[in-house]
Amino acid sequence: MSNHEKGKSVSSSAPRNDDAPLLEIRDLAITFDTQNGPVNAVRNAHLTILPGETVAIVGESGSGKSTTALAAIGLLPSNGRVSGGRIIFDGEDITNASAKRIIELRGNSIGMVPQDPMSNLNPVWKIGFQVKETLKANGLDGANSKERVAEVLSEAGLPDAAARAKQYPHEFSGGMRQRALIAIGLACRPRLLIADEPTSALDVTVQRQILDHLDRMTTELGTAVLLITHDLGLAAERAEKLVVMYKGQVVESGPALEILRNPQHPYTQRLVNSAPSLASRRLQSQKAKDALAAAVEDLDDPADAAYTGEAPMRAGHTASSIPAAAAQPVKAARPAKDGERKGAQAGETILEIKNLTKVFKLRGALGKTTDFKAVDDVSISVPRGTTMAIVGESGSGKSTVAQMALSLLAPTEGSILFDGVEVNTLKGKALFDFRRRVQPIFQDPYGSLDPMFNIYRTIEEPLKIHKIGNAKSREKKVRELLDQVSMPASTMHRFPNELSGGQRQRIAIARALALNPDVIICDEAVSALDVLVQAQVLNLLNELQEDLGLTYLFITHDLAVVRQIADHVTVMQSGRVVEASSTDDVFSNPKQVYTQELLNAIPGAALLV
């Protein structure tokens, strides 16, 4: 249930107007000292959060959202500093508070859920131990600490929490790791929770469970939430107030629904227009749009106009203004239907998964192991030149299928055929060639990018490994790839830790495109991107598919994105395929209750149509 549905707005709730603000940020300026001199990352930022209120900050990667929040909790990088303005928490000016005072506030008064689980969970510590350390740091590790650890993990949506507490981060899926971070952030019941993209790695059903829990905290405990997100649907559904940031400045703020339904600033208008929704349609390439517009412009014959039931297309009209009925008789230029993308022919399959099963051994009590069937008899056929989306909640087996398709995991049973050849039999040069032709874009960019490589070396590396070009041509290629993913050429001299989560994901996409592969397996490839960059990347992937005949296996929890990019959809639950059909069929006529639940759980589905 959303805040708006519960009537939990500033105007309709208890007399909050008389309450003192919990957090005030006034004219905040943040400067980073770099080799090229100081850089102003945030300028004159301002926001106010009342007790128990949810405020969302939205904006593209690098707009200053996370930097503003980190300043409020004293976690700016060593080269960052507050160079102006004030930060006031519960009436106390903490702008220049001592390190000791800030540490006292963290956890008990201000909690934090960071964006990237793999870089914020210690890989050699069990999950339960990490939760217990948080409790201990805040003086809450009493005799019942084991029960409290299981309780907070359960509250964050982890099933069988007592058993999960004994596992390590690498034994969790991406969504489960994110839930563990949420448990740590909420463990001490803070008065303010700073949630930096807290659900970007979560499927929609678990996302709703987590956000409902945050709502309950807000209502029952008076906990305020500063929600940093690129998901406008989530912001529309969950936040009472919205703050829009662009290039380090607040460009618009006010009631969330008012801003999203009637944006005033041009940047906010672009954000709203770029947000995907269930009303979105399959993307067309620019080439297809141009061909469609040119063909319909020729419909000047009255007979043609009578046939379509619409007025003839006139000069000045664009492809986006063409009525659907007018486009239908233009068969040579109409948008391709499912299974008809460039390069696809009837019966031609580039990637075929047959009766795939994967069993993992899990450690149990007293050192005993049990079998866990992560993937159970899965069969998927991907036609050449199309996009097959695999959707399902966290732990459903989506990413495990992707890793086996990449030959990173060996199947327990079943087979994977790429261009008619069994992948698991490939060795030597054949396997090397397969690695070039099938490229991944992983879910976690921080984990897939070498922190010791600058961005140029990261993108150039596959070109060098496959002996493509010389130093000069490779530099030109790197520049082109950075431009394709909307990153400036100067980025090549930076390192992954100097980039935002969304920027790191764009670098991962550029690296995957470097070798001009036949198949790209995208594991949550756009989940970390703001809506503007997400729209650019989806359009880029679509254009590349049209131009190069690329095939995509697209693993995602974002069904609104699936609507835009996929020709076919496979729905997985508990390791099995429960529904598979064309995208239109799955969205317009879902046959399984589970699929219907996934569609109904999309945040803001009714608000951003």
pLDDT per residue as tens digits for the range 408-419:
999 999 999 999
Confidence grade of residue 463 (pLDDT, cut at 50, 70, 90): very high
pLDDT value of position 346: 41
| Residue 384 pLDDT class (50, 70, 90 cuts) | very high
pLDDT exceeds cutoff 70 at 311: no
Which among 447, 440, 516, 452 is positioned nearest to 480, based on CA atoms? 516
Q: How far apart are CA 404 and CA 438, in angstroms?
A: 12
Q: Which of 158, 189, 220 is the endpoint of a domain?
A: 189
Q: Which of 160, 189, 218 is the last residue of a domain?
A: 189
| 469 domain residue, yes or no | no
- Pick from 258, 315, 345, 245: which is nearest to 42 by CA? 245
pLDDT at 21: 92
Each residue of 480-516: pLDDT tens digit? 999 888 889 999 999 998 887 778 888 998 999 999 9
Q: What number of other Cβ atoms are within 10 A of residue 444's Cβ?
A: 22
Helix axes 501-513, 471-484, angle to 10 degrees: 130
pLDDT at position 301, please?
44
pLDDT at 278 > cutoff 50: no
Q: Higher model confidence: residue 367 or residue 351?
A: 351
pLDDT for 504 equals 86
Interatomic CA distance for residues 110 and 186, integer angstroms: 10
Residue 121 lies in a domain: yes
Residue 494 lies in a domain: no
**Bridge partners of residue 360, in order along the sequence:** 372
Domain assignment present for residue 263? The answer is yes
Q: Is the model's pLDDT at 2 over the cut of 80?
A: no
What's the whole-number mean pLDDT along residues 569-582?
94
Residue 475 has a pLDDT of 95
Residue 332 has pLDDT above 50, yes or no: no
Torsion angle defined by CA atoms of residues 476, 477, 480 and 485, in that order, rounded to the nearest 10 degrees: -140
Q: Do 405 and 293 sit in the same domain of this protein? A: no
- 534 contacts: CB under 8 Å, gap ≥ 6: 230, 274, 276, 526, 561
For the chain, the domain total comes to: 4
Whether residue 339 is predicted with pLDDT greater than 60 in this model: the reply is no
Whether 196 and 165 map to the same domain: the answer is no
CA distance 305 to 357: 55
> Helices in 116-225 by DSSP H: which ranges?
127-137, 145-155, 161-164, 174-186, 204-221
Q: Same domain for 88 and 204? A: yes
DSSP state of 40: E
> Per mean pLDDT, which range of 100-109, 169-178, 551-560 is the poorest?
169-178
Output the domain CATH number for residue 415.
Answer: 3.40.50.300
Which position has the higher pLDDT, 447 or 397? 397
Contact 10/258 with Cβ under 8 angstroms?
no
Clarify whether residues 265 and 179 are in a common domain.
Answer: no
Task: Assess contact for 536 and 489: CB atoms under 8 A.
Answer: no
Looking at residue 279, what DSSP letter applies? T
Residue 66: φ, ψ to 5°: -70, -35
Backbone angles phi, psi at 464, to 5 degrees: -70, -40
Window from 29-33, 210-214, 379-383, 562-566 with minimum mean pLDDT: 210-214
309 and 418 belong to one structural domain: no
DSSP for 314-355, written as a single string: -TT--GGGS-HHHHTT-TTTSPP-TT-STT--TT-EEEEEEE
pLDDT(4) > 60:
no
Q: Taking residues 302-330, what's their average pLDDT?
A: 33
Q: Region 452-475: what's the mean pLDDT?
A: 95
Give the N- to C-terminal CA distance of the chain in Å, as an integer.
18
245: in domain = yes
3-class SS of residue 210: helix
Furthest C-alpha separation in the chain: 85
Same domain, 248 and 362: no
Contacts of 265 (CB under 8 A, 6+ apart): 244, 246, 251, 252
Q: Among the three residues 162, 189, 216, which one is the final residue of a domain in this structure?
A: 189
Contacts from 584-592 at CB under 8 Å and sequence distance 24+? 584/338, 587/278, 587/559, 587/563
The answer to the question of residue 342 being in a domain is: no
- Structure tokens of 139? 């003086």
605: in domain: no
Contact present, 396 and 574 (Cβ < 8 Å): yes
For position 314, what pLDDT does the model report?
30
User: β-strand 249-255 against 349-363: which pairing, if any?
Assistant: unpaired
Place of tokens 């839930």: 179
Query: Are 182 and 217 in the same domain?
Result: no
Please report, to the nearest 10 degrees, the dihedral formed by the alpha carbons of residues 268, 270, 276, 282 taken in order: 170
- The reported pLDDT for the residue numbered 528 is 67
What confidence category does residue 67 fall into, taking pLDDT thresholds of 50, 70 and 90? very high
Give Rg (Cα) of the chain.
25
Domain shared by 27 and 105, yes or no: yes
437 lies in the same domain as 301: no
pLDDT at 365: 58
**pLDDT score of 354:** 96
144-175 confidence digits (pLDDT tens): 778 889 888 888 778 888 899 999 998 887 77
Query: Residue 266: which pLDDT band, with cuts at 50, 70 and 90?
Result: very high
What mean pLDDT comes out for the span 245-255? 93
Question: What percentage of residues in the chain have a pLDDT greater than 90?
Answer: 44
Q: Residue 144 sits in which domain range?
A: 117-189
- Identify the pLDDT of residue 337: 41
Q: CB–CB of 129/164 below 8 Å?
A: no
Q: How far is CA 38 from CA 31, 33, 77, 152, 545, in A?
A: 6, 4, 14, 42, 41
Considering only residues 313 and 348, tell me which one the structure prediction assigns the higher pLDDT. 348
Q: In which band, very low, low, confident or very high, does the pLDDT at 382 lie, cut at 50, 70 and 90?
A: very high
In this prediction, residues 289-303 reach a mean pLDDT of 46
Q: Is the pLDDT of residue 476 over 80?
A: yes
Task: Measure the CA–CA gap between 513 and 477, rounded to whole angstroms.
Answer: 10
Cβ atoms < 10 Å from Cβ of 453: 14
Residue 457 maps to a domain: no
* Highest averaged pLDDT of the listed ranges 12-26, 51-65, 138-152: 51-65
What is the pLDDT averaged over residues 283-305?
48
Please provide the average confidence, as pLDDT, over all residues in the chain.
81
Between 28 and 233, where is the model more confident? Answer: 28
Instruction: Among 176-180, 254-258, 422-426, name the one with the lowest average pLDDT.
Output: 176-180
Q: What is the pLDDT of residue 25?
A: 95
pLDDT on residue 472? 94
Confidence band (pLDDT; 50, 70, 90) for 124?
A: very high
Do 440 and 577 share a domain, yes or no? yes
Indicate if 160 and 300 belong to the same structural domain.
no
Average pLDDT over residues 25-52: 92
Q: Per-residue pLDDT for 364 more than 90?
A: no
139 or 142, higher pLDDT = 139
Split at pLDDT 50, 70, 90, the class of 230 is confident
What per-residue confidence (pLDDT) applies to 207?
76
* Contact criterion met (CB below 8 Å) for 234 and 242: no
Which pLDDT value is given to residue 418? 95
- What confidence score (pLDDT) does residue 343 get? 44
Same domain, 356 and 439: yes
